[in-house]
Amino acid sequence: MIVRTATFIGSYVEEKKCPANAFAEFAFIGRSNVGKSSLINMLCNRKDLVKISRSPGKTQTLNFFLINNQFFFVDLPGYGYAKVSREMRKKWELMIEEYLTSRKTLQLIFALIDARHEPQKIDLEFVNQLTGWELPFALVFTKCDKAGKSQTWEHVHQFHDMLRSRKEAIPETFITSADTRAGKEEMLGFIEHLIENK
């Protein structure tokens, strides 16, 4: 699939206020600074569609982008940013939970994980939560250019082993880099497949 058009539609703070169109939605979420903005820009062939955050924890809203007049990419706030108050964090968590668990048009969640690190508790907990909610998701390992091939695969296998040890199914997994554009065709192909088979 080729992304021909990508348009910012708006930012919302609750699911009920999000666009009412019946377009399929693909949500992106991960730890703050995981490379989410860079990944969405890479998929859309744009440099600044999602402003690459200078300071982590900046995205606090559900940001909608219409792709090819056909489906939405939804940029969700990053989790795990230490410098926000507990109250603020709780508010974001509730907003994300409400969106994820009640959004009828949500097709798939891309859970982003930094390929440079061994499995982090916070990422595992988030993925377990998605499994608990019975939501469809795929794993996207980011910054693989920085991690290198063997380290990336080691971390992918470790993450999969952790899921297996909890008897969870191994989700579709993408290895990506916003720098080298690795994984772009695979992710877009997967999205296209899901839309066609909706």
Stretch that binds ligand GDP, among 31-39, 61-69, 127-135, 151-159 (CB under 6 A): 31-39
Residue nearest to ligand GDP (CB): 35
Residue 161: both structure tokens together: 């082993």
**Cα–Cα distance measured from residue 158 to residue 155, given in angstroms and rounded to the nearest whole number:** 5
Q: What binding mask, one character per residue, do residues 76-95 give for ligand GDP by CB under 6 A, x or -?
A: --x-----------------
For the chain, helix, strand, coil in percent to 5 are 35, 25, 40
* Order of all β-strands in the sheet with 71-75: 6-12, 62-67, 71-75, 24-30, 106-114, 137-142, 173-175
Residue 69: both structure tokens together: 């007049």
Binders of ligand GDP among residues 94 to 133 (CB under 6 A) are none
Stretch that binds ligand GDP, among 4-12, 29-37, 64-72, 188-196 (CB under 6 A): 29-37
Nearer to ligand GDP, 24 or 52 (CB): 52
Based on the shown chain and the rule CB under 6 A, indicate whether residue 184 belongs to the binding site for ligand GDP.
no
